[in-house]
């Protein structure tokens, strides 16, 4: 351990129920002896007044009750009213079903709550559509069903509330697709005369108003002052380098054994499905933890004292593990992020974060799984070998209480909007006056008409294609071209073409539900990739070469210190590395056509060496104050450091951005680092980076200065995704360049000072 941070307990802040809360809701609160937290009362007041709301508070703060009580109470008073609830995963819908059913029955609504998704038996569906009052589903299911809205007429006519739970999950391409889906839902509901009030429930997140407005496409009220009580919480930071003879995985096993041995019921969050299985098995074997089961099923799949939890388990297996956590028979569960969402697992004693989960919001959500109901809790953070993980090792205060990232989504993405337009036209004829609101132009519609996909009708344009658009338009893909991954002739997964080029090249190894598969062939013309099980334990890393040219700066100026605009990207996949337990054992070539697309990018430039900053003796002593002023290695290392920390500023995945660096970029005429959205058209990441550029660059400077290595390592500037094998690389030069940009450029007019405020440059 290198650091310990203690968070004091806090009392709850309570408020009286809103005056408009129906009598049934008030009586239920009195019977249960419950007082409302201040944020619950505020959210209820907005909903009952017909104002759409974003409720963004911490784990175990009662968000479900804050939304369910006013909605169920209102439905109990209005026999024709209904509510639609959207959850990102089927498992979460099933978990929440019991809570909504219990409250509905307590308020006199019997048999009106149900889950309607792909797992719902066909014989139950007609009755749910006709008699259901509160239906729980997920975006993927709604995307398929919305075209058949006439079957839902009894339910849709009465929709008074729409709830979108776990709002922080709707980001990037998936969030953009869901945002468009919600707009199409609004069109269909308007056709039936329904004008619902919307509610978004989210973990603590940066920019909750932006998230709500861009997800829903309408103004929202924000409730984010958490009034729930919190027990004392202790955070430990575990430094793997203190025991260099043991790998981070073995130290994770040691940590979990220690926590279980100390009598603490523990949930360990891990970065992969494979690690979840391996960790649970290793802890059980080394600790000889007894299992209360009498059968011979593996402990990692049963309700013994130790178990793993991940996507891919059967529903009954997941329910068994969740019950084991609630009743205490399970003492340790190693889980992927699948248990981060609001599935009820009771109040645990400890949480181990075995690696940074990708966002501050997720880290706090996972940590909040321990110490519920005001109990004290322990959270241990053990980083893995990458910059994001190591960044927080000495910055526990930022992880615990720093500003959360801004979710990024772009529902006005042209290609995405045009393809989803086909879904809207299949649901209801598309009127001319709707086009600008939906982010498309009449020329786009005319192009679809010439292609035979739309046809002019008396009330607008109707879908004229031969295949249902919902079958081919994905919620989480930007390109229309899809690639099916086949194993033994059967379809395993479907990826968009851009992902397939990067991850399904011949020889690539990928994971599906924790199982490894190797790609034998990829045919982009037919959209087919053939794969087979991979049992040799090897993994692969793609090697790419990128070229990014500035096409159209947003400001019209190319060579300013800070720029934002349209860039043309050409990515060439040159080959891949074969790794055995992280060690490179071979490098192989690949023959694939390059990926070319336009997207959005942000770039930093440096002028002459007359602005070279003064360096301190401490920096010279540490190796950060020597070397050339501008070097290819310094720019390359600066690019890597900036890209590594993008997810700290804009809520996205590391692979959602790419970058290039050059001592003399052809479009700026200056030393330049350019970072771009790795998706055609961009999804809004570059705009957020420009708006928060000082914070972004300062974090990179801090990371380089604090990493104990001298020449660069995987914790700061070395990237496994680098197409040039991390050569050249100059960590000290990167530190000087980024520090110079902050000191000499970041406050200058015409540079970072022109960056728009976050409210204008967030998700679009």
Question: What is the domain-level CATH number for residue 421?
Answer: 1.10.10
Regarding whether 305 and 440 lie in a shared domain, the answer is no
Domain enclosing residue 140, as ranges: 3-223
- Which is more confidently placed, 696 or 323? 696
Confirm whether 579 is domain-assigned.
no
Q: Among 128-142, 395-409, 446-460, whose mean pLDDT is lowest?
A: 395-409
Report if residue 589 sits inside a domain.
Answer: no
Same domain, 167 and 277: no
Is the residue at 477 inside a domain? no
pLDDT in tens, 457-516: 888 999 999 889 988 888 877 666 788 899 998 888 878 788 888 889 999 998 876 578
Whether 268 and 399 map to the same domain: the answer is: yes
- Residue ending a domain, choose from 430, 450, 472: 472
Q: Which of 27-41, 414-428, 641-655 is predicted most confidently?
A: 27-41
Helix (H) or strand (E) holding 26: helix 23-32
- Say if residue 512 is in the same domain as residue 554: no
| Residue 662 parent element (H or E) | strand 657-662
DSSP string, 593-650: PPEEEEEEEEEEE---GGGPPP--HHHHHHTSS-S-SS-HHHHHHHHHHHHHTHHHHE
Q: Is 436 left (phi over 0), alpha (psi -120 to 50) or beta?
A: alpha
Average pLDDT over residues 629-650: 92
Give the domain CATH number at 746. Answer: 3.30.1360
Q: Do 252 and 131 reside in the same domain of the chain?
A: no
Which pairs with CB-CB distance under 8 Å and at least 24 residues apart come from 748-751?
Answer: 748/561, 750/560, 750/561, 751/560, 751/561, 751/562
Q: Evaluate if residue 663 carries a pLDDT over 50.
A: yes
Longest distance between any two alpha carbons in the chain, whole Å: 77
Mean pLDDT over all residues of the chain?
A: 86
The H or E element containing residue 397 is: helix 396-401
For residues 308 and 387, state if they share a domain.
yes
Return all residues near 710 (Cβ < 8 A) that are at least 6 apart.
623, 731
430 within 8 A of 424, measured Cβ to Cβ:
yes
- Do 599 and 735 fall within a single domain? yes
- pLDDT value at residue 60: 82
- Rounded CA-CA distance 665/124 in Å is 62
Residue 633 is assigned to a structural domain of this protein: yes
Task: Kindly state whether residues 304 and 244 are assigned to the same domain.
Answer: yes
748: number of Cβ within 10 Å:
14
669 lies in some domain = yes
Quote the pLDDT of residue 613. 45
The b/e string for 98-111 (b: 16+ C-beta within 10 A; e otherwise) is: eebbebbeebebee
- HSE-up (13 A, CA, CB side) for residue 690: 32
Question: Is the pLDDT reported for residue 302 higher than 50?
Answer: no
Looking at residue 435, its pLDDT comes to 86
Out of 363, 389, 407, pick the residue that ends a domain.
407
Q: Structurally, how many domains does the chain consist of?
A: 5
Range in 80-84, 190-194, 413-417, 600-604 the model is least confident about: 413-417
Domain co-membership, 324 together with 426: no
| Separation CA 448–CA 435 (nearest Å) | 13
194 and 260 both lie in a single domain: no
Residue 340: both structure tokens together: 């981060």
The verdict on residue 586 lying in a domain is: no
616 pLDDT higher than 60:
no
197 & 151 share domain: yes
The mean pLDDT value for 638-659 works out to: 88
Q: What band does 589 get if pLDDT is binned at 50, 70 and 90? A: very high
The answer to whether 689 and 680 have CB atoms below 8 angstroms apart is: no
The least confident of 3-7, 157-161, 250-254, 366-370 is 3-7
Q: Is residue 27 part of a domain?
A: yes
Q: Which of 132-136, 337-341, 708-712 has the lowest mean pLDDT?
A: 337-341
- Candidates 384, 385, 463, 451; CA nearest to 420 is 463
Contacts of 606 (CB under 8 A, 6+ apart): 561, 630, 670, 671, 672, 737, 740, 741, 745
Residue 323 has pLDDT above 60, yes or no: yes
pTM of structure: 0.82
User: Which residues on adjacent β-strands are paired with residue 334?
Assistant: 268, 308
- 550-564, 608-622, 651-665: which range is least confident on average? 608-622
Say yes or no to pLDDT of 628 above 90: no
CA-wise closest residue to 221 among 200, 196, 203: 200
| 233-237 and 377-381 strand pairing | parallel
- Phi, psi (degrees; rounded to nearest 5) at 484: -90, 130
Q: Examine the domain organization and report whether 493 and 430 are in the same domain.
A: no
- Residue 253 belongs to domain with CATH number: 3.40.50.300
| 581 part of a folded domain | no
Task: Give the end of a domain, one of 356, 390, 407.
Answer: 407
Q: What is the pLDDT of residues 383-420, one digit of tens each?
A: 988 888 888 888 888 888 888 887 888 888 888 888 89
- 203: confidence class by pLDDT, cuts 50, 70, 90: confident
What is 32-84 written as a DSSP string? HT--EEHHHHHHHHHHHTT--EEEE--TTS-HHHHHHHHHHHHHHH-TT-EEE
Q: What is the pLDDT of residue 1?
A: 54
């Amino acid at each position: 351990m290198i650091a310990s941070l203690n968070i004091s307990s806090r009392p709850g802040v309570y408020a009286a129920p809103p005056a408009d809360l129906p009598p049934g809701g008030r009586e239920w609160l009195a019977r249960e002896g419950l007082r409302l937290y201040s944020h619950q009362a505020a959210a209820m007041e907005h909903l009952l007044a017909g104002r759409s709301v974003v409720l963004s508070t911490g784990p175990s703060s009662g968000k479900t009750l804050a939304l369910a009580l006013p909605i169920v109470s209102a439905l109990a008073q209005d026999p024709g009213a209904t509510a639609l609830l959207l959850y990102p995963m089927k498992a979460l819908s099933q978990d929440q079903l019991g809570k909504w059913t219990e409250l509905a029955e307590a308020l006199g609504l019997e048999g009106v709550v149900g889950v309607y998704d792909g797992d719902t038996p066909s014989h139950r569906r007609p009755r749910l559509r006709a008699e259901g009052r509160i239906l729980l589903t997920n975006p993927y299911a709604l995307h398929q069903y919305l075209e058949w809205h006439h079957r839902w007429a009894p339910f849709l006519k009465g929709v008074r509330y729409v709830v979108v739970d776990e709002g922080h999950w709707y980001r990037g391409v998936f969030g953009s697709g869901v945002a468009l889906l919600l707009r199409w839902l609004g069109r269909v509901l308007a056709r039936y005369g329904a004008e619902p009030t919307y509610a978004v429930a989210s973990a603590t997140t940066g920019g909750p108003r932006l998230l709500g407005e861009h997800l829903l496409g309408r103004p929202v009220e924000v409730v984010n002052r958490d009034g729930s009580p919190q027990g004392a919480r202790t955070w430990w930071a575990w430094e793997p380098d203190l025991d260099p003879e043991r790998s981070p995985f073995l130290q994770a096993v040691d940590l979990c054994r220690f926590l279980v041995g100390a009598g603490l019921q523990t949930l360990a969050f891990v970065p992969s499905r494979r690690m979840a299985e391996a960790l649970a098995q290793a802890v059980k074997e080394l600790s000889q933890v007894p299992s209360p089961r009498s059968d011979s099923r593996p402990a990692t799949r049963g309700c013994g004292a130790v178990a793993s939890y991940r996507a891919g388990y059967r529903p009954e297996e997941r329910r068994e593990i969740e019950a084991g956590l609630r009743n205490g028979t399970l003492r340790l569960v190693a889980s992927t992020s699948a248990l981060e969402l609001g599935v009820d697992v009771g109040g645990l004693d400890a949480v181990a974060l075995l690696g940074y989960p990708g966002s501050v919001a997720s880290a706090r959500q996972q940590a909040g799984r321990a110490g519920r109901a005001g109990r004290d809790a322990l959270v241990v953070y053990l980083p893995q070998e990458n910059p994001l993980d190591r960044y927080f090792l000495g910055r526990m205060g930022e992880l615990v209480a720093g500003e959360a990232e801004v979710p990024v989504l772009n529902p006005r993405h042209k290609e995405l909007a045009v393809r989803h337009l086909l879904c809207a036209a299949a649901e209801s004829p598309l009127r001319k006056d709707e086009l600008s609101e939906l982010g498309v132009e009449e020329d786009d519609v005319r192009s679809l008409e010439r292609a035979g996909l739309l046809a002019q009708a008396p009330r607008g344009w109707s879908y004229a294609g031969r295949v249902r658009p919902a079958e081919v338009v994905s919620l989480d893909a930007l390109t229309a071209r899809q690639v099916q991954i086949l194993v033994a002739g059967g379809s395993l997964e479907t990826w968009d073409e851009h992902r397939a080029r990067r991850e399904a090249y011949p020889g690539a190894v990928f994971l599906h539900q924790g199982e490894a598969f190797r790609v034998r062939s990829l045919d982009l013309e037919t959209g087919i990739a053939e794969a087979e099980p991979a049992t040799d334990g090897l993994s692969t890393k793609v090697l790419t070469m990128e070229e990014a040219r500035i096409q159209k700066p947003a400001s019209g100026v190319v060579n300013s210190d800070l720029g934002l605009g349209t860039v043309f990207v050409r990515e060439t996949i040159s080959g891949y590395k074969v790794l055995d337990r992280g060690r490179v054992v071979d490098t192989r070539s690949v023959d694939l056509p390059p990926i070319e697309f336009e997207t959005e990018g942000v770039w930093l430039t440096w002028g002459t060496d007359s602005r070279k900053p003064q360096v301190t003796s401490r920096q010279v002593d540490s190796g950060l104050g020597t070397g050339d002023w501008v070097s290819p290695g310094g720019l390359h290392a600066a690019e890597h450091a900036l890209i590594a920390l993008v997810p700290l500023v804009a809520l996205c995945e590391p692979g959602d951005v790419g970058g290039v660096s050059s001592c003399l970029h052809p479009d700026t005429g200056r030393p330049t680092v350019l970072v771009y959205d790795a998706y055609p058209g961009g999804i809004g990441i570059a705009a957020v980076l420009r708006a928060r550029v000082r914070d972004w660059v300062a974090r990179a400077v801090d990371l380089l200065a604090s990493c104990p290595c001298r020449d660069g390592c995987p914790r700061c500037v070395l990237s496994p995704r680098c197409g040039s094998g991390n050569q050249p690389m100059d960590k000290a030069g990167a530190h000087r360049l980024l520090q110079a940009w902050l000191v000499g450029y970041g406050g200058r007019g015409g540079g970072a000072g022109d960056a728009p405020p976050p409210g204008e440059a967030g998700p679009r």
